[in-house]
Structures are given as structure tokens and as C-alpha cells.
Amino acid sequence: MRTISVVGLLAVGLTGPAFAYEQKTTADGDQVRVVAVSKRHVDFADQRNVGALYARLKRAADQACSVESADRHLARPDQACVDQALAEAVRRTDKPLLTAAYQADATASGRALAGNDQ
């Protein structure tokens, strides 16, 4: 698979300058927004490559967890959703440098990722 899916659970692809996303309904009836982030051409042994991918994953998590609204306060992403979506994307990717970038990120407040065994 050449993409990483960042899934945000909402209360109510491919990447480009603005993220494209797909709205889905789970079997439980929950609405989720799925943002695909390409990992094509990412050298997971290169810290700069992985750092750039991590930054894209963070932006995708913000996008996946944002509510569309003209009110800028309502349009802010839900931080718990962002934390969970980012942690899950990193966990599923299961690459040591990506996990290290996540664990070193002081802004990833949820720390929903316990780590992976590598």
C-alpha cells in the first residue's frame, strides 16, 4: 500500500496543497473522514524524509478532524480526535523513525500510541 489513511471520527485519495478526503460511515453509524497521505518515495531510513512525512500526517489529522464551519472557533479540529488519528496512523505504519518522531513531538498531546515493537 502506498498511502497511509488518517481517519478522524466526526460528530456530525490523494494529497495535494489542500487535502482531499473521503467521508465514510462505519458499521456503527459513526461518520469518519479519511485523508490519504502518500508514502511513495519516502525513505523510512532517512530522518528528514520521515520528518516530512510526519508533518504531512499531522496536517492530515487536522484535516480529518476539522468541522467545516464559517465560524473559526467551530472549525478548529477536535484535539482528542487529532491525537487519536495521528497515533493510529503512526502505529499502523509501524516504522521506527516515524514512531520516534511521534514520541518526540511535544505537540502530540494524546500519546495514544504506546509504541511498536521494532
Where b means 16+ CB within 10 Å and e means fewer, 44-71 reads: eeeeebbeebbebbbbbbbbbbbbeeee
pLDDT in tens, 80-105: 888 888 998 899 889 999 999 999 99
Q: What is the pLDDT of residue 16?
A: 36
Confidence of residue 37 (pLDDT cuts 50, 70, 90): confident
Please provide residue 33's backbone torsions phi and psi, each rounded to the nearest 5 degrees: -115, 125
For residues 6 and 26, what is the distance between their CA atoms, to the nearest angstrom? 15
Q: What is the pLDDT confidence band of residue 32, given thresholds at 50, 70 and 90?
A: confident
Three-class SS state of 47: helix
